[in-house]
Amino acid sequence: MSTMPNFLIIGAAKGGTTSLYHYLSQHPQIYMSTVKEPRFFALEGEELNFNNPDQGINRDSITQLREYQDLFKDVKDEIAIGEASPLYLYSAKAADRIRHYIPDVKLIAILRDPSERAYSCYTHLVRENYESLSFEEGLCEEFKRIQDNWAHLWHYRQGGYYYSQLKPYFEKFSRDNIRIYRFEDLNNDSMSVVWDIYQFLGVDDAFIPDLTRMNVSGKPKIKALQTLLGTGNTTRSLIKRILPTEFRKDIARRLRSWNLKQKGEMPADIREKLIHDYREDILQLQELINTDLSAWLE
């Protein structure tokens, strides 16, 4: 019988899902998919032709059920089986597809101040050399990019309407099977969040993972070095063949962290406009998840 996950980290993008994936993957009773971000339930059966500069989403996404199930073929006696695809929260199709395949699944979402999440997506793409516009220009260009079929990371403003995105999940799944956390809590007290997730998933909550890994955003000091550390270049491909994977990744993380300057504050006038756009959604979200989100409106 083919294995499917029994829990999913559904988002949000730039909300700490990569770090959470690595924290949970260390637990001996938790099996995380061999591909961190398969996006299957958002993109099943589709011919992928996103037009954005980074073609990773077209190349790496899994759209066929058998290929998706193969991600879990090495599951042994793990209690919790999961994967992390932030696109599921934003996708209009994912909730129905998840309900169809795994109706009793447990769902985890990490929500970040939507204005900060938008800016973090922008600085991430600048860091990877996939965004040449200013943040204000990117926001102005967003609607046209969506029409031109650019992928979700470039949907800076649209990606932050969490109430609208979460409501279908609360309508289709038991509230007892959904856990919502704030990015601030994961960032400031990672172990408390991870411990709560252990209890939610029914695994041994005495296990202590290495919590030192968090994604870093910012602008590169040396652009050529950041390009080398990024994707899609020949030199990096050659290095991958020579150095052991973990050793290479550790060096890359250290170099990337050193090379990144602080990303700087979002311009105050832009934040004010975004807060205005998100206000009603945030107020509705507070009621839906019974959590004080007033700091997001400051």
Which pLDDT belongs to residue 264?
85
Which pLDDT belongs to residue 87?
98
Which pLDDT belongs to residue 160?
98
> Strands (DSSP E) along the chain, which ranges?
7-11, 30-32, 80-84, 106-111, 178-182, 219-220, 260-261
Profile the chain (298 residues) by mean pLDDT over runs of 10 residues: 92 96 98 96 97 96 98 97 98 98 98 98 96 98 98 98 98 98 97 98 97 63 61 60 67 62 83 98 98 96
Architecture of the structural domain at 7-218+262-297: 3-Layer(aba) Sandwich (3.40)
Name the CA radius of gyration of the chain, rounded.
19
Which pLDDT belongs to residue 3?
92
Peptide bond preceding 12: is omega within 30 degrees of 0, i.e. cis? yes
Cα dihedral 153, 188, 217, 256 in deg (nearest 10): -130
Which pLDDT belongs to residue 14?
96
The domain ranges of the chain are: 7-218+262-297
Q: Which two tokens mark 91?
A: 């996708």
Residues in the chain: 298
